[in-house]
Every structure is written in structure tokens, then in C-alpha cells.
């Protein structure tokens, strides 16, 4: 009987130890950094937004931080990397995109306030000089992910090119188009894939920064999305929810809002970026 009790106690101890080890290996376990002396920050971004992140190096240095910029070649990995704890923060996306990641990937990401910058988004064509000139069945690129497709469709609806279903939704898709008088062919393709091959399509909804990085003039859009100015699509600093109150997070946001950082951002993006925060 004594031997059985000892075996039971041993099994219980092993079970408790395994639970501790499992908890330590949880995907979120590496995402809380409360170190008061944290001075090295790893911030993820994509190639298009890297200059905006590089712009805050001097401001962070004045606060005693050194910045390591990690560039990813797709628009999901910077979020995955935060969840895995391999980077501290990212700066490249707007809230609707982040929320899509949280819903579809089980993410626990938050964007810090205030939001930082927003980019213009416009309707571009290298074949036609006006919307009225678009022919029947013109091909129009509207993006490749739910949040950007939604934004493009709302933009086309507001301009009267299409009509969306009369029902409020978080994200509209091309199946929600109920009226399309000129039978436009709406193509779900990433803007980065067409900006250098605009002759392959009749028109495209593109970010001003995407156009700029392709060496073209962002101001040449046939029309712009005025909703950009409501800051819904402003980009900002994103971190794991467990880190949102850390001092280094607030310092990072403050660095992005410094006059030095804005001067660097504006010089690079040539007017295709605007502040989303109040001075």
C-alpha cells in the first residue's frame, strides 16, 4: 500500500512538472517583456514601409535605445513573428488588417494609440485619363486580402462605379457587388504585383506608397479615397497585448511621433504619407 501511495505521489509530481514545462513552451510565453532596462528593440516591417521605421532611429537613440529593423517579404509574417516572440513590435499595417489576422490566426495583437501615418489610396490607370473613359468590362484590380478588397470596393461604390449590397458588413467582397452597370472585371490581385505592369490591366486601386516605390507619381490617380482621412486605415505600432503597457512600447510610439522622425518620413515619401496624430 505504501509503495502504491509513493507511485501516486510520484505521478502527480511528474504531471505538475509537465504542466509547468508546457506552460513555459506556450506560444505567448515569450511575449511579455517587462524589463525596465530593455534597450534593444526589434521592429518588423515590410520593404515598402521600412523607410518609415528607419526614420525613427535617431529619436530612439536619444532615448537610449538601439533599433534592429527586421524586413519580411510578405504581409502576414510580421504579425506571426510577434506571436512567436521573435520580434518586439511591427509597424506596417492598419487596424482592419490586424483584426483580420487576430480573427483568422488567433492573434493577440493590439495597435497603440495614437496611430501614426496614413497613406493616400487612389484609383490609377495608365490607359485612360478619366473614369468615364473606362470601357465596358474594364479590368480593375482591387487587392488580394479581405481588408484591402473591402476598402477598394467601398471606394468604387462611393464613386458610383459599382453598388454594394445594402447590408452592413465588416468586410465586403466581390460577391457583395449587386450592381455593376459596365460589367467591370474585378480582379483580386495584390497591388505590388501590378504596379509595374499597369498595361496588363485597365485600372487598379493602389496605395500611394506602392506607386511611389515603383518610381511613379502618386498624385496621378484619377481619384482618391477620401475615407483615408478618417484614420481608419492609418498605420501604427503593433505589439502583443501583453506588452501594451510596457515603457519601451510608449517610448517607441513617442519616437515615431518626434519631429525628427516626421522630417525623415516626409522627405522619403514625398507627400504620400500624412500624420494621423495631432502635433
What pLDDT, on the 0 to 100 scale, is given for residue 25? 41
Higher local confidence (pLDDT), 270 or 113: 113
CA pair distance 201, 217, nearest whole angstrom: 18
Q: Which residues 6+ apart lie within 8 Å of 181 measured at CB?
A: none
For residue 249, give the 3-state DSSP assignment: helix
Number of other residues whose CB lies within 10 A of the CB of residue 219: 14
Task: Tell me if 229 sits within 8 A of 125, measured CB to CB.
Answer: no
Which residue ranges form the domains of the chain, and what is each CATH number?
Answer: 43-119+232-275 (3.40.190.10), 121-224 (3.40.190.10)
Each residue of 50-74: pLDDT tens digit? 999 999 999 999 999 999 999 999 9
Q: To which H or E segment does residue 84 belong?
A: helix 77-84
- Bin 69: left if φ > 0, else alpha if -120 < ψ < 50, else beta: beta
Q: To which H or E segment does residue 80 belong?
A: helix 77-84
| Average pLDDT over the chain, rounded to an integer | 88
Lowest-pLDDT range of 74-83, 229-238, 240-249 = 229-238
Report pTM: 0.65
Q: Please report how many Cα atoms fall inside a 13 Å half-sphere around the Cα of residue 254, on the Cβ side.
A: 12
Higher local confidence (pLDDT), 226 or 255: 255
Higher local confidence (pLDDT), 97 or 18: 97
* Strand boundaries in 36-154, DSSP class E: 40-46, 66-72, 89-94, 109-111, 117-119, 121-124, 139-141
Q: Residue 231 — pLDDT band, cuts 50, 70, 90?
A: confident
What pLDDT, on the 0 to 100 scale, is given for residue 29? 46
What pLDDT, on the 0 to 100 scale, is given for residue 11? 52
What pLDDT, on the 0 to 100 scale, is given for residue 26? 42
Most confident of the following: 1-15, 144-158, 218-232:
144-158
Phi, psi of 123 (to 5 degrees): -105, 110
Amino acid at each position: 500500500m505504501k509503495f502504491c501511495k509513493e507511485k501516486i505521489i510520484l505521478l502527480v509530481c511528474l504531471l505538475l512538472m509537465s504542466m509547468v514545462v508546457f506552460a513555459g513552451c506556450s506560444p505567448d510565453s515569450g511575449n511579455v517583456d517587462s524589463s525596465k532596462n530593455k534597450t534593444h528593440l526589434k521592429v518588423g516591417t515590410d520593404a515598402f514601409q521600412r523607410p518609415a521605421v528607419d526614420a525613427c532611429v535617431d529619436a530612439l537613440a536619444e532615448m537610449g535605445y538601439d533599433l534592429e529593423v527586421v524586413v519580411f517579404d510578405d504581409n502576414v509574417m510580421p504579425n506571426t513573428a510577434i506571436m512567436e516572440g521573435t520580434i518586439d513590435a511591427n509597424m506596417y499595417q492598419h487596424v482592419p488588417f490586424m483584426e483580420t489576422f487576430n480573427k483568422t490566426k488567433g492573434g493577440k495583437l493590439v495597435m497603440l494609440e495614437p496611430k501614426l501615418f496614413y497613406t493616400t489610396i487612389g484609383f490609377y490607370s495608365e490607359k485612360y485619363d478619366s473614369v468615364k473613359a473606362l470601357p465596358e468590362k474594364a479590368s480593375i484590380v482591387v487587392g488580394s486580402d479581405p481588408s484591402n478588397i473591402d476598402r477598394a470596393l467601398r471606394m468604387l461604390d462611393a464613386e458610383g462605379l459599382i453598388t454594394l449590397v445594402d447590408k452592413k458588413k465588416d468586410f465586403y467582397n466581390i460577391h457583395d457587388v449587386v450592381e455593376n452597370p459596365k460589367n467591370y472585371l474585378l480582379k483580386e490581385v495584390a497591388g505590388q504585383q501590378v504596379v509595374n505592369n499597369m498595361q496588363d490591366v485597365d485600372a487598379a486601386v493602389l496605395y500611394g506608397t506602392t506607386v511611389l516605390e515603383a518610381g511613379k507619381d502618386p498624385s496621378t490617380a484619377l481619384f482618391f479615397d477620401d475615407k483615408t482621412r478618417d484614420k481608419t486605415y492609418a498605420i501604427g505600432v503593433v505589439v502583443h497585448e501583453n506588452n501594451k503597457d510596457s515603457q519601451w512600447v510608449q517610448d517607441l510610439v513617442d519616437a515615431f511621433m518626434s519631429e525628427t522622425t516626421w522630417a525623415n518620413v516626409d522627405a522619403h515619401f514625398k507627400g504620400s504619407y500624412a500624420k494621423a496624430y495631432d502635433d
